[in-house]
Amino acid sequence: MTVIEDGRTVAQHRGQDAAADVTITTTFDDALAIHRGELDINAGFMQGR
Amino acid sequence: MAAAEALLLVLVVAADVAMHERMVELGLDSPMSDERLKWIEEAQKEPDRNTTAVDIADYADVRQLALLATAPRSTPTTGCGSGCPTTSSAASTRTTTTSSPVRSSTRRSPRTTSSPGSAHPPSAGVTVAFLSDDWFALGVSEGARLEPVPGATIRLQQVVTGAPVATSAT
């Protein structure tokens, strides 16, 4: 889970967050591509990935 | 279809359409696939296919905030990132069918473990293993240095499926 306040990451770790505002589900390959900058997260979302 | 799934479906379609229309309006290339556009076009020609209409105006900003909050880290050099046009409120209420090809609501596989991040994050510029403790710690240390975006505050749960190791979720 990740907590972002005013655009800045203040916490990030493994585990479920019952209070999460948004849950994003991705495959491992897509997640890796996003963080490598190879897949635009907006494009991936709009393409139903 | 459960009410939550129907709402998610409408949110996704409305966001797709609004984003596509806005990017076209601005003269930008829309990343929406031809297949997706065709499906939406066909659905709009057949109003009888529409089975659900939900006013999502009160929720439209949530997606934009999520993209705004995560864009600087995930799309540092490509795509529209935080420069994505804001979803038009005029297009935030749409109708859709229950036969969407959207898959996101059915792929969730919450296989997770829980452990705190490293107390001493590695320095920027070093290579760390994806989803490792060091990777999480680096995300915090680097994320704290981002330019502030007032209002972009969110708790985000990312579920990663099919990871080759046991630690598969953030």
Q: Are residues B112 and B154 in the same domain?
A: yes
Q: Which domain holds residue B137?
A: 108-170
Report the residue of chain B nearest A7, measured CA to CA: B149
Nearest to A48 among B73, B103, B159 (CB): B103
Question: Does ipTM exceed 0.90?
Answer: no
Does B21 or B115 have the greater pLDDT score? B21
Taking the CA of residue A13 and the nearest CA in chain B, the distance in Å comes to: 6
Report the predicted TM-score, pTM, of the whole model to 2 decimal places. 0.41
Number of A/B CB contacts below 8 angstroms equals: 195
Taking the CA of residue B52 as centre, how many other CA atoms within 13 Å lie in the half-sphere pointing to its CB? 21
How many distinct structural domains can be found in chain B? Answer: 2
Region B137-162: mean pLDDT is 84
Helix, strand, coil: what percent of chain B each, to 5?
A: 45, 10, 45
Q: Are residues B36 and B11 in the same domain?
A: yes
Taking CA atoms, B66 is separated from A1, A21, B151, in Å, by 13, 9, 11
Taking the CA of residue B119 and the nearest CA in chain A, the distance in Å comes to: 12
Q: Which domain holds residue A26?
A: 19-49
Does B106 or B154 have the greater pLDDT score? B154
Q: Are residues B14 and B77 in the same domain?
A: yes
Nearest to B84 among A25, A26, A42 (CB): A42
Nearest to B154 among A22, A40, A45 (CB): A22
